[in-house]
Amino acid sequence: MPKIYSNEKRQEIRNQLMLVGLELIKQNGLKRMSIQELTKKVGIAQGTFYNFFSSKEMLVYELADAYQKRTNQQLEKIIQSKGYLERNDLGTLYSRMFLKDEDNVYRFITREDLQNLYTRLPHDCFRRMTDVKAEMELNLLHAREKKENYDLDAVINWIQIMNLTIQNKDILVAAGVAKMILRMIENMLDELFI
């Protein structure tokens, strides 16, 4: 007979699965992260995982969604405080996102992982997970001193190139990756701001 958990305990287990899942992805990569190891570390039966997530790909989707929501909240705080976003605000956000944020699951998945997610996630989930254009359009509504005729497609391409760089960092010179990302952020911001 399956265990019955209170709502509080369910939320606690879900949070633990997400936290430990992210740690395992960082250590082993998504491909080698196993539900068996994850549930063992959380202290639940392997089958119980599926009461919280339909697959490990849905776990990744939930990690990405939670990260995006936290990022949006950070931007909203800046906008509420200052009334606008400046070049420096977006520069800081993107450098943290690509180089520092340990809870950004995108930093730890490979191109192969992304392809797997594409084939295994429901299409609308994958689209939401990868729709940087909609997020950027929302952010730019509050940007101060942006160019009148910036090329949004070029901006999105810079973001995607940064994503590709992070996803393929294993084939790049490790010491140069952060420097490259920072240069790409500057190029992206040059496209947007006066």
CA distances 176 to 45, 81, 170, 173, 182, Å, are 43, 35, 12, 6, 10
**What is the pLDDT at residue 83?**
95
Q: How many CB atoms lie within 10 A of CB 138?
A: 11
Rounded to a whole number of angstroms, the distance between the first and last alpha carbons of the chain is: 64
Q: What is the pLDDT of residues 41-90, one digit of tens each?
A: 999 999 999 999 999 999 999 999 999 999 989 999 999 999 999 999 99
14/77 same-domain check: no
Structural domain boundaries enclosing 63 = 55-192
Q: What is the pLDDT of residues 161-190, one digit of tens each?
A: 999 999 888 899 999 999 999 999 999 999
Q: Structure pTM? A: 0.88
* Domain harbouring 45, CATH code: 1.10.10.60
97/60 same-domain check: yes
Number of domains the chain is built from:
2
Q: What is the pLDDT of residues 147-156, one digit of tens each?
A: 999 999 999 9
**What is the pLDDT at residue 182?**
98
Q: Which domain-ending residue is among 10, 33, 53?
A: 53
155/59 same-domain check: yes
State the pLDDT confidence band at 136, using cuts at 50, 70 and 90: confident
**What is the pLDDT at residue 49?**
97
132/162 same-domain check: yes
Q: How far apart are CA 26 and CA 77, in angstroms?
A: 29
